[in-house]
Amino acid sequence: MKALITGASSGVGLGCAVALAEAGSHVVLSARNIGELNGVVDAIQSKGLSAEAMMLDVTNTNSIRESIENHDPFDILVNSAGLGRHSPSKDTLVEDFDDVMNVNLRGAYFVTQAVAKGLIKAKKPGSLINISSQMGHVGGIDRAVYSASKHAVEGFTKAMAIEWGPHQIRVNTICPTFIRTPLTQSTFDNPERRKWIESKIKLGRIGEVEDIMGAVVFLASDASSLITGSALMIDGGWTAD
């Protein structure tokens, strides 16, 4: 099996890549920084796992098409490239709105499209997984733009699942709560924000990258062969209210 993971140089994307590699997939890690990616790939290969790097700018549709078309079809996709620009809604800047939508929505949409085209042309089944968020189902303080982008990801995931079901291509989302990564550390360092987060998570702890790894292997495998158009919540009960 061959898997493409976007945003794979760190955080959730890297965790997903490692999980799939450990499960036996050949993983293609993609991001804009090829130098950083090469170091990550070397570390994965040093464990005897199969991996390679691919430079990919998800905000550039030509780059998406060319990079993905140059590969044999991917059996698995994990769209993990993401961006957050958080502020009160009344203070949202147009450039921040556009930057978030270009990565979280536009990029994810066209990467998913390109991978599906390859599978359909080759008449192969596949599992396409979008890393969404609990904020794709609820709202949050200072997160109107981010929440809008993830609600949109949930929408196109369902529509694509309907369209591509006859081709045996499954499309699902994983919806984490706040996960501890270098990019989210500043949020956890804010005592007020951390208190709010911990009050909403019913299991009483914030998420770790390891909490996502089992879920991505499940959705990528035949263990989830009848699951499509669904959202797998990994939110400690945040959205149970």
**Quick check: helix, strand or coil at residue 31?**
strand
Given the residues 74, 146, 164, 178, select the one marked as catalytic: 146
Q: Quote the DSSP letter at residue 60.
A: -
CB count within 10 Å of CB 33 equals 13
Instruction: Verify whether residue 146 is a known catalytic residue.
Output: yes
Amino acid at 173: T
Amino acid at 100: V
Residue indicated by tokens 């914030």? 206
Q: Quote the DSSP letter at residue 72.
A: P
* DSSP E strands, 32-164: 51-55, 76-79, 126-131
Distance CA 192, CA 12 (A): 24
Q: How is 81-95 classified by DSSP, letter by letter? A: --------GGG--HH
Residues noted as catalytic: 146
